[in-house]
Each structure stands twice: as C-alpha cells, then as structure tokens.
Structure 1
Amino acid sequence: MKAINLNASVFTKRKQNQNDSRFNGAKNFFITLILVICASPAFAQAAFDKFDGQDDVTSIIVNKKMFDLMSKVKVDATDKQTQQYLALIKKLDNLKVFTTKSTRVESEMKLAADKYIKSAGLEELMRVNENGRNIKILVKSGAADSQIRELLMFIEGAKDDDTILMSLTGNFDLNEISVLTDKMRIPGGDDLKKATKGKK
C-alpha cells in the first residue's frame, strides 16, 4: 500500500510540474510578445540614430520630455489651432526628422528605411512618384482606424530637393497631423497633409 501511495504521489507531482512548465512557457511567451510590441517604437528611433550629428544632415529631434514641457505652455484660450496642437503633443513620444542633399546619405537613408519597413510591420498609407520625387508614408495603426502608434515618412528628393526621413511615435489621430506640421514647420508637411486627407 505504501508503494502504491508513493507512486501516486510521484505521478501527481510530475503532472503538477508539467502543468507548471506549460504555465511558465505560456507566461514567458506573452511577456516576450508584450516586450516586442512595446519595443517597436523604440527600435524605430534607434534604427535612424546614426544620421543624427552627420555633417551632411539637418536634424530635428524632440523627445517625450520636451513634448510634455511644450504642452504646458500657456496660450490664448480662444486660439483653437494652438489648443489642438497642445492637445496633440501630449500624445506624442518621439519625433525625429532628418534631411539631406547628399547622395551618399540619401542612399543610406533609403537602405535604413527599407530595412526597418520590412521588420516593423508597417502599413503603407501613401506612395507617390511625382516630378522625380518618390514619397512613401507608412503607419502602424492603433485601436481605431485613424489611430496611429507610429508614422514613417521617406521622401527621395529630386535634383536639388532635400531627401527627408521622418519617424513619429506616440498614440495619436492621423487627422491631427496637419496641426503639427503647420506649427513645427516639419519638412514634407504638405505631403503628410495629403496623406491625412486620403485617410479620412
């Protein structure tokens, strides 16, 4: 009887260990999945950091802390556009814009953008080939159709035009972007406005 009880105890313990192992495996999977989702916007920023500080590149860099400070600026309550702008920047995490006229840097930007687009699972919002300019705008959507967690724009300049690479992360509505481009005078802002109109 003792031997039978011992075997039953061992079997029960072994089954419990198997269940614990399955639970831990599932838990580790979901933790990894969450980390991948959360890390994606951070990876977007890091993927283009090498262009910051290059001699042939003009950079605009705004982080979450700066957006928070900007959103606390006191403005005229009757100025609706500025109020919309301040409401928007509270939702933003990072903005990076790089512009160049260098053909060498343009090639590097194109390679970096193409590589990131393939790995990040972005949805193409707009593609235009106009007067020698190739424009790509891609997004990672949020809960609603117009809700955006990440926006990437790459514009290959024609002749003497600037080549532009822009990465914007946060949790914002695509229809609000025109306010941001107007207030911050972001290069390529007119192209972003066209994309916004097409998404409404």
Structure 2
Amino acid sequence: MNRLVITLLLSLLPILSQSQNFEKYEDMKEVDAMVMTSKMFKMLAKVDLSDNDPEARAYMKLIENLDRIQIYKTSDSKVQNQMASDVKSYLQKNSMDELMRVSEDGKNIKFYSIPGKNDNYVKELFMYLQGTDNDKPMTVILSITGEIDLSQLSKLTSDLKVPGAEELKNVNKKS
C-alpha cells in the first residue's frame, strides 16, 4: 500500500511542479496575472449557442477541452529576471519542443509545446515574450494546457488580448 501511495505521489509531482513555477507571480503587485481553470471553461462551454454557427461550435469545443490558461505580464526588471530564470528551468524540466521564434517590433517571442494526440494537437502551448511595449520593458508568460487544437488557438488568444497572440496564427503552419 505504501508503495502505491509513493508511486502515485511521484507520478503527480511533475504536474504539481509545473503550475508552481509560475503561480507565485499571481500575488506580486508588479505582475498582471490571469488564470482560468477548467471549471471556467466548462461553464463557458455550457453557454447555449445557435447550432447554425459552426465557428462558435468549434470555439466551444476548443475551450471545453482546456485545463488551464495562465498569463503573467510584468515591466519590473527584477521580476523579469526572475521570470527568465523560471522559464529556463521550466523548459528544461518539461522537455518542450520549440515551435517557432519571432523577433519583430522590439519583441522576442518563443513558442514551445508538449506534443498531443496528433500533429494538430498539443498538451501544452507555452509562450515567452521579452521586449518593449510603448518603450517600456515587458515580459509575458503564457501557458495553455489541455487538449489544444492548434488550428483554433489563435482565435482564443486574440480574444484574450495576449501580447504576441497574433503570431499564433502561424504556429500551426510551422509545426
């Protein structure tokens, strides 16, 4: 019985440690944070939409299969350095595949993923953005977990107004 409990705890450790890397930023006054959980997505998926709108149905299917969205944004240089260190550690721990890099308009954006059930899906999409916004330094971390359909993802992140979201339109083409 003890072996079973230890095995179960060890198997859950990577899942627990993933979110712990970034949740510490939620309570920092220098960080703008947004975290949406699967309960929110399930609630949104229950919204009664017209069956005549295939785009709305596809959107609902996408969000109903999400587990969590975390977005953290800061302009504070100390927090930016801490985020850079945490991102590096997170990427190493999780052996994520790099999807693409974009450098434009003073922003460096990197996208990573954990493969999903096929080439069109990922278990996690991770974005790390460093750059400037209105001549002010900015760092953004975005993590989306669940069963993520890359072809539908740019619509969701555009609706969330995430910096760097416009680049997600090209992720599916490059993966």
Residue correspondence of structure 1 range 81-100 to structure 2 within 5 A: 81-100=55-74
- Partner residue in 1 for 2:100: 126
Unaligned 5+ runs, structure 1: 1-26
- Cα displacement (A) at 1:198: 2.1
Matched, 1:153 2:111: no
Partner of 1:69: 43
In the superposition, the TM-score normalised over structure 1's length comes to: 0.76
CA displacement, residues 31-82 of structure 1 (integer Å, 9 cap, x when unaligned)? 949954x654443222101110211111111011111111101123333322
Q: How much identity, in percent, do the aligned residues show?
A: 31
Q: Report whether the alignment pairs 1:171 with 2:147.
A: yes
Q: Give deviations 1:141-160, integer Å, cap 9, x for gaps.
A: 02312221111110002342
Which residue is equivalent to 1:20?
none
- Counterpart Cα distance in 2 of 1:127 and 1:63: 27
With over 3 angstroms needed to count, the CA separation of the structure-2 counterparts of 1:179 and 1:35, relative to structure 1, is: farther
Residues 54 and 189 of structure 1, relative CA distance in 2, 3 Å threshold: same
> 1:144 and 2:118 equivalent?
yes
Distance 1:176 1:39, change over 3 A: farther
Q: Name 1:106's counterpart in structure 2.
A: 80
Instruction: From the superposition, tell whether residues 65 and 115 of structure 1 become closer, same or farther in structure 2 (CA, over 3 Å).
Output: same
Aligned-pair distance for 1:161?
5.2
Hey, what's the Cα distance between the residues in 1 that align with 2:158 and 2:53? Answer: 14
User: In the alignment, residue 161 of structure 2 is paired with which amino acid?
Assistant: R
Task: Give the 5 Å matches for 1:13-92.
Answer: 32=7, 36=11, 39-92=13-66
> 1:105 Cα shift?
1.4
Task: Give CA deviations for 1:99-126 in whole Å, capped at 9, x if unaligned.
Answer: 1111221111111111110111100101
Instruction: Find the counterpart in structure 2 of residue 198 from structure 1.
Output: 174
Q: Greater CA radius of gyration, 1 or 2?
A: 1
CA contact (8 A) 1:181 1:189 kept: yes
RMSD between superposed Cα atoms in Å: 2.4
The structure with the greater share of residues assigned to helix is 1
Give secondary structure in 2 for the equivalent of 1:145. coil
Match of 1:16 in 2: none
- Cα distance in 2 for residues equivalent to 1:63 and 1:168: 10
Name the count of aligned residue pairs: 171
